[in-house]
Amino acid sequence: MAARNASITVESQNFLTEAINKERDTRLNWHQKRRGQDAVKPRQMEVFRRNIEERSKPSEALMERLPAITKEQRFNKKKTTDWDALVTKSASGNVNTVLNMRPATPDTNSKLYDGFTKEGKGRYQYLQSRYFQIPEEKFPYPLLNSWEYGWRLNDVVKKEEIKKPTYGRTRIVADTFYTRTGAI
C-alpha cells in the first residue's frame, strides 16, 4: 500500500490542475495550428540522392525516380504583428487567442529602441512602463485563479471612496469581500 503524501494541499492541487490544463490547451493549439500541414518529411531520400550525385554520374532513369531536393526558406521570413494574425478561428467558429498578453502601445514599443538599459532607457523604460500597468490593461482575462480575487477591483471600489485612514489601516478587503450583515 502506497503512503499518502501529506504535503499536498488544496492550493498545490489547484496549481497542478491549472498547470495540466494550461499544458493541454497549449498542445491542442499546437495540434490545431499544424493539422492541415504535411507531416515532417524524412530526409533519407535527400541524403541518398546527394550521395549518388557525389559518387558518380547516375543514370537519367534513377534521377527521375528520386524526389527533387527542395530547400525551404529558413530566414528572412515576413514577420506579422497584426492582432488578426494572433487570433485564429477553428472550424467550429470558436476564437482561440495565441497570445495571452495584449500587445504594447506604439508609444511603449518606441521606448525599446531609445537608448541603453545601462543609462536607464531602452529596455529598462519599456519594462518599467509595462510593470506599472494594471493587469486588466495588459491581459484580456485573468490567467491565474489567484487573479480572479482582485480582477476589475476598480469597478467595485472607486478611488473617491478610499480615504486615508487615521491610524494607517485600510478596510478594502473587509468592505468589499465580507457580507454586509455583520457575519464574517
Q: Across 68-72, 118-122, 152-156, 172-176, which has the greatest mean pLDDT?
A: 118-122
- Asked if 162 contacts 176 with a C-beta cutoff of 8 angstroms, the reply is no
112 neighbors 130 (Cβ within 8 angstroms): no
Least confident of 39-43, 108-112, 127-131, 153-157: 39-43
Each residue of 32-85: pLDDT tens digit?
887 766 666 667 777 887 777 777 676 778 778 877 777 766 666 565 555 555
Phi, psi of 95 (to 5 degrees): -100, 125
| pLDDT computed for residue 144 by the predictor | 81
- For residues 82 and 89, give the distance between their C-alpha atoms in angstroms, rounded to a whole number: 15
- Reduced to 3 states (helix: H, G, I; strand: E, B; else coil), residue 96 is strand
Alpha-carbon 52 to chain mean position: 46
Q: What pLDDT is stored for residue 34 in this prediction?
A: 77
Region 95-104 average pLDDT: 68
The dihedrals phi and psi of 108, each to the nearest 5 degrees, come to: -70, -40
Residue 90 pLDDT class (50, 70, 90 cuts) = very low
| Extents of the domains making up the chain | 102-159
Instruction: Tell me how far apart the terminal alpha carbons of the chain are, to the nearest angstrom.
Output: 42
